[in-house]
Amino acid sequence: MVSITIRSLSKRFGDTVALDSVSLTIEPGEMFFLLGPSGCGKTTLLRHIAGFYTPDAGKVLFDARDVTFVPAHKRNTAMMFQSYALWPHMSVAQNVAFGLEQRKADPENIERRVGEALDMVRLRKQANRKINQLSGGQQQRVALARALVVRPDCLLLDEPLSNLDARLRLDMRTEIRRICKEFGLTTVYVTHDQKEALAIADRLAILDEGKVVQGGTPRQIYRFPFSTRVASFLGETNMIRGVIESEVGTDKLWAVKTDFGQFWGRLTEKNWEPTKGDRVTVCVRPEAMRLADYAGARNTISGKLNHYMYLGDTAQTVLSGAEGQEIRVTELHPTGRAPDSDTELFASSAPEDTLILRR
Amino acid sequence: MNSLITRLRSLPPASVVTFAVAGFLFLIFFVYPIGITLKEAFFGPDNTFTLEFVSMVFLDPLYLEGLINALKMAIFSTALAVAIALPLALIADRFIFPGKAILSSLVLIPLILPPFVGAIGVRHLLGKEGSFNTILESIGLVNAASPIDWLGAGGLAGVVVMNALHLYPIIFLNVTAALANLDPAMDEAAQNLGCTTWKRIIKITLPLIMPGVFAGCTIVFIWSFTELGVPLMFDYTRVTSVQIFHGLKDISGNPFPYALVTVMLASTILMYIVSKLLFGRSNFAVSGRASMAAAPKHLPRAQSFACTAAFSLVTFLAVLPHLGVVFVAFAGDWYNSVLPSEIGFSNFAEALGNEVTLSSIGNSITYAVLATIIAGIVGVAIAYIVVRTNIPGREALDAMAMLPLAVPGLVLAFGYLAMTREGQTFDFLVFPEAASQSNTGFLRLLGRMLGSIFSKVMDDGNPIVILVIAYAVRRLPYVVRSAAAGFQQTSVSLEEAARNLGASPWTAIRKITLPLIAANIIAGCLLAFSFAMLEVSDSLILAQQREHFPITKAIYSLFTSLGNGDQLAASLGTWAMLFLGITIVGAGILLGRKLGGLFRL
């Protein structure tokens, strides 16, 4: 178990800034996710940890050891590639044994550990198969076994589930978490699938245009995004523009004036003391809104029904507000019938679920 | 400054060193020989610049005639090759006919058969006492007393036929590639608007594939413009390449061979530029890839068999010269008869008993094996750098490695001869003994040192070092291309995965990448080997003494000797073709259908 520290890491490719002074600390044994839209720099950061790239500036530390210029083969990380990168000219067992051979393990030891690793991913029977005789899910498990069998200091996963179908993805993500926790591995996991990240991450960092825009536990980031970009990248959100009026009450709530009337909400950004007239965006998650038959005193949006989508576990009602703005309301376990079209609808949110973000 | 250091630090040092070494070798064995030729052509004895020698080439009636003949040779050969290849390519693209798969591979065979050897066969088939005349005489079309010389015009016709039959596959490959990139919808659109088949070919297809046709034509044109072996075998002496060859005997103090080579190189470069200017930009045929694959049509029975017949006939004609060679080799006597009157192995026995043939086979194998090893190592290293690293200037390295394909072999061979003459900087490569005692010249100290080392293992005049280098440089492109293709098809992450698991970069290449692209490398090396075995220009020019002759020079020397020399030459040629056949079949099996890609521009 090692901790991984990234210090002001920067990397350019030609004119493109891939990483812009990224700093992060990943605790020993932690399952850490790098999440972001494609091209945000998350894979580049992972490859710096693996040692395939050297930065233009900044450092990578494993515990206190500076590994910035240590070549990839001397880092004792184990990476699972998006394409799996299994060697087609070797059998399953040979693929898994490769890392142990490089570590000069004795043959008996290699055989035993390869066997154990294949048991762990339930592929012992396929040990002598060639890679192209395996299904996608089996290949994914070989890649995992090959990475884990060397008992790496940390496990690096580059979108490991993106080539699998939806059902298998669900099974494998819990499986990966179980194995990582069992081995006590420090794991860095790159994905653009927010559900995957929310489901199994201990902590995660959102990257955008080469910068870390927010880090924290899934709950912190989902509930209290620092910016509208984070809010809209992670899950759905309703955004209403407004200006700050005043602080209200004692719960650090603030009142915001919008086209839909007054909203009370809370600040997510630390060290920010708003003043009257500051331009802000009010963000409310669709599932934090409730449909009502009447207008409340505040935190209420009125509008005509735009459309209604029944999705089984949830139902989404979309209202068209005064300025043509669409507001989404998600209802869990929908049992009632769809609202009539052209009826006036009201949607409201509790002040503690209403976020005020700087514009 | 800081970023430069981190930049350098992030480059793999082994690759940087390889890059530097490859660039250095390129300077010495590619730029320098051409440079020294240019220097001798443009600078007089007192080291003053002069255009006198080059302009003399155009003023001297003999040299001018040589250039005009070379142009004739190139134009006619190219035209004939297009006439053969274009219809075949169109047929292959559009129709399905019996035996299509095998025939469209067989039709490529001539490319790998040595035309230099085939020339012996053509002389027996088309000569005054040859088979063709005998057939015509027997049916009364030709008077036996005054037979027609089908080789005509001092051998020009024979040279042209041999060149065209050798080179048409290059055009065939380029045209079929252009046709494959053509969107069939363009043709269908014309058909939909009421255009007939023939009009569509002329108005739609041909204009669109012109870039492909001309790309092929440029190669064929330059190849036949500078061809040495074939005109030599046909005694077609009044052509620039042969004039250069005969001028070799007295190149010290005689600037004209240098001037001839310079003119030849300049014309070649001019042709490339012209073809790029004319057809480089209007490359619409490959601009958009086909939205759907072309669907070849089935033909009525008679027509489809006509297609089969056309392909078979062309292949047969192209192989005929070499069949002729085999007959000559087996023949006891072959004059005024369709087929040899006696068949036997006496020529083979005699050829194997001849000291020149035996040593030449051994020499060629030695030269070719060494050259293949060098080309293999350097070629794979270059391909790796070009495909897998981000060293600045790697594109230049790639272009550099491909250049030997574009520069005529004759020019390079001449440059090597010039740079290793006694008293020149690199004379220690051929004359180590003399070099170790010489005292003049640039870099003499180094030359003396290396000369005394080399002289321990070889005698003066042994061309092994320079021949191996020449073979390796000329065959490098084949290895680079096929290895680069292998690297491109093999995902980098396979190598990264190995490094991630603790394999050093070199181990990762050795255990993962090299085994995966072994087929490509072996195929490239086999091609390099077989072409080195039958190389003409370097062999004829650089091997001076009998005991050092490679196969091709031995064939030439036997052929020009009296008695049954041509039959001995033919049996040696048959051996050589057998060798070639085995290696090419091996390469074909390893590389599959990608073999053709090596001959495309």
Q: Which residue is closest to A82 within chain B, CA to CA?
A: B493
Contact B500 A77 (CB under 8 A): yes
Residues of B whose CB is below 8 A from A162? none
- Measured between CB atoms, which of A57, A88, A98 is closest to B501? A98
Higher-pLDDT residue of B526 and B86 is B86
Asked if B301 is an interface residue toward chain A (Cβ–Cβ < 8 A), one would say no
Q: Which amino acid is at A37?
A: P
Is the pLDDT higher at B106 or at B503?
Answer: B503
Instruction: Report the gap between the CA of A5 and the closest CA in chain B (Å).
Output: 19
* Rounded CA separation A51/A73 (Å): 8
pLDDT interval class at B290 (50, 70, 90)? very low
Segment 224-243 of chain B within 8 Å of chain A by CB: none
B 467-506 residues with CB < 8 A to A = 491, 493-494, 496-505
Confidence of residue B479 (pLDDT cuts 50, 70, 90): confident
Interface mutation target, options A8, A44, A53, A73, chain B, most CBs of B under 10 Å: A73
Q: Please indicate, yes or no, if residue B243 is contained in any of the structural domains.
A: yes
pLDDT of residue B6: 56
pLDDT above 80: residue B190: no
CB contact under 8 Å between A73 and B494, yes or no, is no
Q: What's the CA gap between A183 and A23, in Å, rounded?
A: 26
Contact check, Cβ <8 Å, B496/A57: no
Compute the distance between CA of residue A50 and CA of residue A71 in angstroms, rounded to an integer. Answer: 9
Interchain CB contact of B6 with A (< 8 Å): yes
Q: Is the pLDDT of residue B291 over 60?
A: no
Residue whose C-alpha is closest to residue A198's, from A228, A222, A181, A226: A222
- CATH number for the domain spanning B395: value is 1.10.3720.10
Digitized pLDDT (tens) for each residue of chain A, 359 residues in all: 899 999 999 999 888 899 999 999 999 999 999 999 888 999 999 999 998 888 999 999 999 999 998 888 888 998 998 888 888 888 999 999 998 988 888 999 999 999 999 998 889 999 999 888 888 889 989 999 999 898 898 999 999 888 788 888 888 888 889 888 988 899 999 998 888 999 999 999 999 999 999 999 999 999 999 998 899 888 889 999 999 998 887 777 899 998 888 999 988 887 888 888 899 999 999 999 988 878 778 888 888 888 888 888 899 999 888 777 888 999 888 887 888 777 788 889 988 899 999 88
Give the mean model confidence (pLDDT) for residues B440-466. Answer: 70
The answer to whether residue B3 neighbours chain A at the CB level (below 8 Å) is: yes
Contacts of A73 in chain B (CB under 8 A): 499-505, 507-508
Nearest-angstrom CA–CA distance, B178 and B199: 19
Of the candidates B468, B477, B467, the one whose C-alpha atom is nearest the C-alpha of residue B372 is: B468
B501 to A56: CB separation less than 8 angstroms, yes or no: no
Mean pLDDT of B148-155: 63
A73–B508 C-beta distance less than 8 A: yes
Q: Per mean pLDDT, which range of B29-33, B212-216, B442-446 is the poorest?
A: B442-446
Q: What DSSP line would sit under B248-304, residue for residue?
A: GGG-TT--HHHHHHHHHHHHHHHHHHHHHHHHSS--GGGTS--SS---PEE--HHHH
Task: State how far residue B10 is from chain A, nearest Cα, in angstroms.
Answer: 6
Q: Cβ contact (<8 Å) for B505 and A102? A: no
CB contact under 8 A, A72 and B496: yes
Taking an 8 Å cut-off on Cβ atoms, the answer to whether B497 and A81 are in contact is yes
Q: What is the pLDDT of residues B316-352, one digit of tens each?
A: 888 888 888 887 777 766 555 556 656 666 666 776 6
Look at residues B409, B416, B458 and name the one whose alpha carbon lies nearest to residue B434: B458
pLDDT score of B151: 62
Q: Is the ipTM of this complex over 0.90?
A: no
What local confidence, expressed as pLDDT, does residue A204 receive?
Answer: 94
Which chain A residue shows the shortest CA-CA distance from B392?
Answer: A14
Residue A68, chain B, CB below 8 Å: the answer is no
Nearest-CB residue to B3 (from A53, A56, A78):
A56
Mean pLDDT (chain B, rounded): 78
Q: Which CATH class is domain A4-228?
A: alpha beta
Do B204 and B262 lie in one domain? The reply is: yes
Residue (of B384, B381, B375, B377) closest to B405 by Cα position:
B375
pLDDT confidence of residue B346: 67
How far apart (Å, rounded) are the C-alpha atoms in residues A273 and A279? 13
Please report the pLDDT score of residue A125 as a whole number.
92
Give B286's pLDDT tier (boundaries 50, 70, 90).
Answer: very low
**Burial class of B62 by CB neighbour count within 10 A (0 to 12, 13 to 18, 19+):** exposed
CATH domain A237-358 topology? OB fold (Dihydrolipoamide Acetyltransferase, E2P) (2.40.50)
* Residue B465, CA distances (Å) to B71, B252, B367, B455, B538 in order: 34, 21, 9, 12, 12
The pLDDT value given to residue A116? 92
Three-state DSSP at A255 gives: strand
Residues B335 and B351 in one domain: no
How high is the pLDDT of residue B533? 84
Nearest CA in chain A to B506: A73
- Specify the range with the lowest mean pLDDT, choosing from B255-269, B272-286, B352-366, B401-415: B272-286
Closest in B500, B504, B512 to A87, CB measured: B512
Element (H, E) at B305: helix B301-330
Question: Between A50, A82, A103, which is nearest B500 by CB?
Answer: A50
- B71 and B133 in a single domain? The answer is yes
d(CA B72, CA B513): 48
Q: Mark whether B5 and B116 lie in a shared domain.
A: no
With contacts defined as CB-CB under 8 Å, which chain B residues touch A57? Answer: 6
Residue of B nearest to A95 (CA): B498
Tokens found for residue B343: 């068949």
The beta-carbon neighbor of B502 closest among A50, A57, A103 is A103
| Chain A partners within 8 Å of B515 (Cβ) | 89
For residue B559, what are the CA distances in angstroms to A321, B116, B242, B328? Answer: 97, 11, 16, 12
Closest CA to B168 of B99, B94, B106: B106
Task: Identify whether residues B339 and B350 lie together within a single domain.
Answer: no
Q: What is the pLDDT of residues B206-223, one digit of tens each?
A: 877 887 788 788 888 888
Is B511 touching A (CB cutoff 8 A)? yes
- Please tell me which of the candidates B9, B498, B515 has its beta carbon nearest to residue A98: B498
In-domain check, residue B322: yes
Give the chain B residue whose CA is nearest to the CA of A158.
Answer: B493
pLDDT in the model for residue B287: 40
Same domain, B231 and B361: no
CA distance B534 to A175: 62
Q: Which residue has the tokens 């690293």?
A: B389
How many separate helices (H) and strands (E) can be counted in chain B?
29, 2
Q: Is residue B440 part of a domain?
A: no
What is the least distance, in Å, from the CA of B5 to any CA of chain A? 9
Answer with the one of B327, B344, B361 that is the final residue of a domain.
B344
Separation CA B601–CA B594 (nearest Å): 14
Chain A interface disruption, residue of B388, B501, B514, most A CBs within 10 A = B501
Q: Kindly state whether residues B128 and B176 are assigned to the same domain.
A: yes
Domain presence at residue B2? yes
Q: Domain segments of chain A: what residues?
A: 4-228, 237-358
Quote the CA–CA distance of A79 and B498 in Å, as a whole number. 10
Q: Are B119 and B230 in contact (CB under 8 A)?
A: yes
In terms of Cα–Cα distance, which of A277, A245, A278 is closest to A262? A245
pLDDT at B531 over 50: yes
The last residue of a domain, from among B287, B315, B344: B344
Give the CA distances from residue B178 to residues A58, A121, A223, in Å, rounded to whole numbers and listed in that order.
50, 49, 58
**pLDDT at residue A279 in the model:** 93
List the single residue in A with minimal CA-CA distance to B494. Answer: A85
* DSSP per-residue letters across A300-346: EEEEEEEEEEE-SSEEEEEEE-TTS-EEEEEEES--SPPPPTT-EEE
- A13 close contact with B: CB closer than 8 A: no
Res A157: pLDDT: 93
Tell me whether B283 touches chain A (CB under 8 Å).
Answer: no
Q: Which one is predicted more confidently, B324 or B355?
A: B324
Share of chain B above pLDDT 70, in %: 75
pLDDT at A48: 93
Residue B308 shares a structural domain with residue B184:
yes
Residue B600: pLDDT over 50: no
What pLDDT does B345 receive? 67
Q: What's the pLDDT score for residue B100?
A: 79
- Number of CB pairs < 8 Å for A and B? 78
Residue corresponding to tokens 């390449």 = B241
Contact residues, chain A, for B494 at CB < 8 Å? 85-87
Task: Locate the chain B residue with the closest alpha carbon to A58.
Answer: B6
CA distance linking residue B219 with residue B111, whole number of Å: 13
Please tell me the predicted confidence (pLDDT) of residue B599.
47
B601 pLDDT tier (thresholds 50, 70, 90):
very low
Cβ-based contacts of B511 with chain A (< 8 Å): 98
Residue B516: inside a domain: yes
Residue-level pLDDT at B294: 57
Residue B60 lies in a domain: no
Span B108-122, pLDDT tens digits: 778 777 788 888 888
Residue numbers of the domain that contains B250: 67-344
Q: Looking at the complex, report in whole angstroms how far the Cα of residue B384 sits from the nearest Cα belonging to chain A.
A: 17
Q: Which residues of A touch B504 (CB under 8 A)?
A: 71, 73
A98 Cβ neighbours under 8 A, 6+ residues apart:
A87, A90, A146, B498, B501, B503, B511
The answer for A 210-249 residues in CB contact with B (under 8 A) is none
Tokens of B553: 């020079």
Question: Residue B130's pLDDT band (boundaries 50, 70, 90)?
Answer: low
Identify whether B442 is part of a domain: no
DSSP 8-state assignment for residue A269: S
pLDDT of residue B288: 43
Query: Cβ contact (<8 Å) for A72 and B515?
Result: no
pLDDT over 90 for what percent of chain B? 5
Contacts of A71 in chain B (CB under 8 A): 499, 504-505
What are residue B464's phi and psi, to 5 degrees?
-55, -45
Confidence of residue B27 (pLDDT cuts 50, 70, 90): confident
- More confident site: B523 or B550: B550
Domain boundary among B285, B319, B344: B344
A 28-67 → B contacts, CB under 8 A: 50-57
d(CA B529, CA B474): 11
Phi, psi of B343 (to 5 degrees): -120, 135
In angstroms, what separates the C-alpha of B377 from chain A's closest C-alpha? 22
Say which residues have a Cβ less than 8 Å from residue B63's Cβ, sequence separation at least 6.
Answer: B56, B57, B240, B243, B256, B260
Q: Which of A188-197, B281-290, B500-509 has the lowest mean pLDDT?
A: B281-290
* Contacts for B390 with CB less than 8 Å, ≥ 6 apart: B11
Number of domains comprising chain B: 2
- Residue B481: partners with Cβ closer than 8 Å, 6 or more residues away: B383, B402, B524, B597, B598
Residue B594 pLDDT greater than 70, yes or no = no
Judge if B339 and B351 occupy the same domain.
no
Which of A53, A77, A85 is opposite residue B494, by nearest beta carbon? A85
